[in-house]
Amino acid sequence: MPKLISMLQQDEEDQVIHYDNDTSSLLFSSFCIKLDPQATYQTGIGPRTEQPESLLPLLNAFASELLIHNQPTGTGIWIDHFIECFIKEVHESCSDSEQKMMQLMNTARARNLSQIDEILRYWIGRGKGLTPAGDDMLAGMLAVDATAGIFTDTFRLHLSELVEKEALTTDISREYLKYALKRNFSSTVTEVMNALLQQDADSLIKRTRELLRVGHSSGLDTAFGILIGMLIIRRNANWHKKL
């Protein structure tokens, strides 16, 4: 999968994709993908947990893997500096992107539609590539939401409306977000979430490293979104009281 995404990103400019019904193949300009109609692929995340805090025991281990990766996200955020901003809440030392991320974290638990609309329009489609960094990050947050319900209904509904009705990002990324809103994700994402839920540290390290190898920064951006979702859980003590 990482190799395929790399090939797609290298060949993305003016990309035209055709489907050959006779061979069940997707035809790109320099390669093709043959589909197996007999194969099944599980993309869904299991039932939502009633205890969001069950994701947190391996929070430090997960964050450490992202820090070891030692790369900025596709939106230019260095994760170690962002965590410092988050913990110390010294926002004057935060970059514009880090402050916008703090706003997103606050708004994810709110019901103010104008605030939700403003911050989502900032992040949807932000960055370059077939799946912009902002979308990958939102997909990671959606994986946590699918598992633990971190978004208010107002936030989730408006995100769905923007993705469905407005052209704020690439066609491929829109489809990716549509699936994520329906709780369907790539195997690399579901396996990270399962390892977190099962509190399996060895599996988490392995699966996180697999996720980080996806694309140029796509895997890191998605993993950062998962981290953001976990930090939202960590910050909200009265979890069942939505704002």
161-201 residue pLDDT tens: 999 999 999 999 999 999 999 999 999 999 999 999 999 99
Q: Quick one: pLDDT at residue 243?
A: 37
Q: Does the pLDDT value for residue 68 go beyond 50?
A: yes
Q: Among residues 140, 97, 148, 136, which one has the least CA distance to residue 119?
A: 97
What pLDDT score was predicted for residue 203?
95
Region of poorest pLDDT, from 84-93, 154-163, 181-190? 84-93
How much is the average pLDDT of 43-52? 75
Of all residues in the chain, the percent with pLDDT exceeding 90 is: 65
pLDDT for res 83: 92
Instruction: Over range 90-103, report the average pLDDT.
Output: 85
Position 15 confidence tier, pLDDT thresholds 50, 70, 90: low
Q: What is the gyration radius of the CA atoms in the chain, in angstroms?
A: 18
Tokens of 171: 């066609």
Say what the pLDDT of residue 241 is. 43
Indicate if the pLDDT at residue 44 is higher than 80.
no
**Which residue ranges make up each domain of the chain?**
1-40, 47-235
Average pLDDT, the chain: 85
pLDDT at res. 160: 97
- At residue 51 the predicted structure's pLDDT band, cuts being 50, 70 and 90, is confident
Q: What percent of the chain has pLDDT over 70?
A: 78
- Unique residue bearing structure tokens 């329009």: 121
Give the pLDDT confidence score for residue 4 in this predicted structure.
Answer: 53
pLDDT band at 97 (very low <50, low <70, confident <90, very high): very high
What is the pLDDT at residue 48? Answer: 78
| Res 29: pLDDT | 65
Each residue of 211-237: b (16+ CB within 10 Å) or e?
Answer: bbbbbbbbbbbbbbbbbbbbbbbeebe
Residue 122 pLDDT > 90, yes or no?
yes
Q: How remote is the C-alpha of 58 from its chain's centroid?
A: 18
Residues 114, 196: Cα–Cα separation, whole Å: 33
Residue 80's φ and ψ, nearest 5 degrees, are: -65, -40
Q: Which range, of 84-88, 89-93, 115-119, averages the lowest pLDDT?
A: 89-93
